Structure 1
Amino acid sequence: MPEDRKLALIITDDDPASDGVKTETVLGHLFQVIENGEAPMLRFSECVPMALFCGKMVIVCEDEVTFKWTICAINTMCQPHTATPFIKFYNLIRATTIVPVTPFCKPSCEIFRFLEVQNEGIVTDKWVLMQRCGLDPCACTNPMPPQNIFDNEVIELYMDQESKCIIESTCSKLKFIYWTIEFKFECS
């Protein structure tokens, strides 16, 4: 889920001769640290706690305690590895948009799926959902919502540079179901 990625870590093997992270080495080390009684109550994602891709390992934590503990545990490995937060590893860019909350896009993964299907070149695999909150229709500081039939939500997220470039090439607007939504990017 896109919201789970905010507490995801990318584990890399620091050995330049390595062909990628060895799952058994990393998990063996983490289990050893846990067995030595050096772990608080840990909570990893129930959906996908760990995955491998392109020689890297992703570990998804459920809370800040687990997130910080995992970083420290990885940093104590004899065979040097690095645990980098997902957002930092991919150098993601902060953005906001407003979307109508329709019956078929309640889960964030469905919102992202619609954006991929309706907008050529958009891939949301590296997008991280930070927050979703209802748009107050009475607040005078709100930008114009895309529509008035459904409730609207403000979505705060991080995305990769490639997605930002594609969105900027369309005047910072993407198709979303029957509407066009606009993205605002944080200035760096």
Structure 2
Amino acid sequence: MLLVQVFTSSANNQNIKPTLFEISEYAKILELKQKLEPITAIPLYQIKIFTSDKSVTDKEVISDILREMSLKDPRADAAFNVFDNKTFVGFVRFHRQVLQNGKAVDSLYYVTPDSRSSSSSAVSGLPKKRALELENPAAGDSTMPVFSQTDRLGTDEGDGFKCESSSSMEEEQPSCSTGMAAPQCIDRTKDCCQQQNCGKPDNRPPYARTMPENRRYGLVVSNLDSCEEVDSEALMSHIFELFESCSIKALHFSDCISMAKFCSNLLIVCVDDETAEWVVNAVDTLCPPHSCMPFIKFFDLMRCTFVLPLVRPGEPLCSIFSLMEKQNPDLVTDKWSVVNRTPLDPCDDNGDLVTDLCPNELIELFIDEDSKDLITQQCSKIVYFCWHLKVNFEC
């Protein structure tokens, strides 16, 4: 994962804390823009990203761009400039996890990416000499302080950050400078699909409590013996042994629901293809034998698309789908798995826009058969806010 610091043009005072969030190093520029939209209050289609010498497209991968920048100049700052169309509004700076001998060093994040890394490999470390240079920048250097992340894998707890002492890489006791306030903890579970019934137990299946964007990376593990339930104890023990014996460099699981049992199966929710592939291979070597199927395939979901007006840019899809359930009786979106979100250009006169009052996005997703039947009965439309959204199904 990459830690991202967002500095807006108004944040030129050191007392103003930059916004922090995490994003997969394999994420595309479009996903970065989606994260920036609620922070900058700029419509998605107006956000433009530039490196120091060129603009980048929505389909480019962040790690590929950073690697290209590092190959050109190993000391280049790992940062992108952010524009509102042609107006500069700030920049984002990336920090990568440092490894030594394949092990994380207190999960430190440094500014400059290692030029030896690749988009298909895990993040790698910096030489100690270079690391010390970054930790103790010369006067006037624009390099920001170094932060460490609480080491966590597959839990439901939020991540915390702390300042590292600038005296030595080997000093274990962290201390924060009085001149720089520590970043606030990031509540990464706030976007989970939580039921809006305060104080009442959430009895929905676990996949209903994870984000629609992450369900595509969900895996359903079942016992090959149809008379037996999933052997969750054997599965967890097997995976734990692999964690101990293998070189685990970059596995990432959902902060909402990472692993939970439902019916006779076990749901594991990852956040990228690499982690999902690793889990599938791990289950293949489990004894007793189990199957591991992608969430979309297990529930035999069907692909469809619709154009969504972003009434409140940055609104989580969970909240949007929840409103759809209220406006469309009997509609249940628990299994809806979003695979792509594409902003539409408001200047394109192609008839795809629902309204010119707000930004529009093309949503590509997989839904269950019950949802399809209900939507088909409504003339292939979903009621959302003041509109009837046309849903297009693949033949």
| Band the TM-score falls in, shorter-chain normalisation | over 0.9
Aligned to 2:296: 87
Task: Tell me the CA shift for residue 133 of structure 1.
Answer: 2.0
Aligned to 1:35: 244
Residue 13 of structure 1: which of 203, 213, 223 is its match? 223
Task: Tell me the CA shift for residue 4 of structure 1.
Answer: 0.5
The TM-score, its normalising length taken from structure 1, stands at: 0.92
Extract unaligned runs of 5+ from structure 1.
none
CA distance in 2, matches of 1:43, 1:50: 12
Residue 266 of structure 2: which of 57, 62, 65 is its match? 57
Aligned to 1:77: 286
Letter in 2 for 1:94: R
1:1-188 matched pairs, under 5 angstroms: 1-18=211-228, 20-37=229-246, 39-103=248-312, 106-143=315-352, 145-187=353-395
Extract unaligned runs of 5+ from structure 2.
1-210
Aligned to 2:10: none
CA distance in 2, matches of 1:59, 1:91: 17
Instruction: Please identify the structure whose Cα radius of gyration is greater.
Output: 2
Conservation of the 8 A alpha-carbon contact between 1:105 and 1:111: no
Letter in 2 for 1:23: S
CA distance in 1, matches of 2:324, 2:250: 37
For the residue of structure 1 that corresponds to 2:323, the secondary structure is: helix
The TM-score, its normalising length taken from structure 2, stands at: 0.45
The CA deviation string for residues 90-142 of structure 1, in whole angstroms up to 9 with x for no partner, is 11111100111012871111111111111011111111011112111222444
The CA deviation string for residues 145-174 of structure 1, in whole angstroms up to 9 with x for no partner, is 222211111111000111111101111011
Letter in 1 for 2:371: S
RMSD: 1.6
CA distance in 1, matches of 2:347, 2:313: 25
Identity of aligned residues (%): 39
Conservation of the 8 A alpha-carbon contact between 2:308 and 2:354: yes
The CA deviation string for residues 30-58 of structure 1, in whole angstroms up to 9 with x for no partner, is 11122222644211112211121111111
Aligned residues: 185
Conservation of the 8 A alpha-carbon contact between 1:13 and 1:80: yes
Give the stretch that moved more between structures: 167-176 or 133-142. Answer: 133-142
Conservation of the 8 A alpha-carbon contact between 1:119 and 1:175: yes
CA distance in 2, matches of 1:131, 1:82: 27
CA distance in 2, matches of 1:104, 1:135: 13
For the residue of structure 2 that corresponds to 1:171, the secondary structure is: coil
Give the stretch that moved more between structures: 99-108 or 83-92. Answer: 99-108
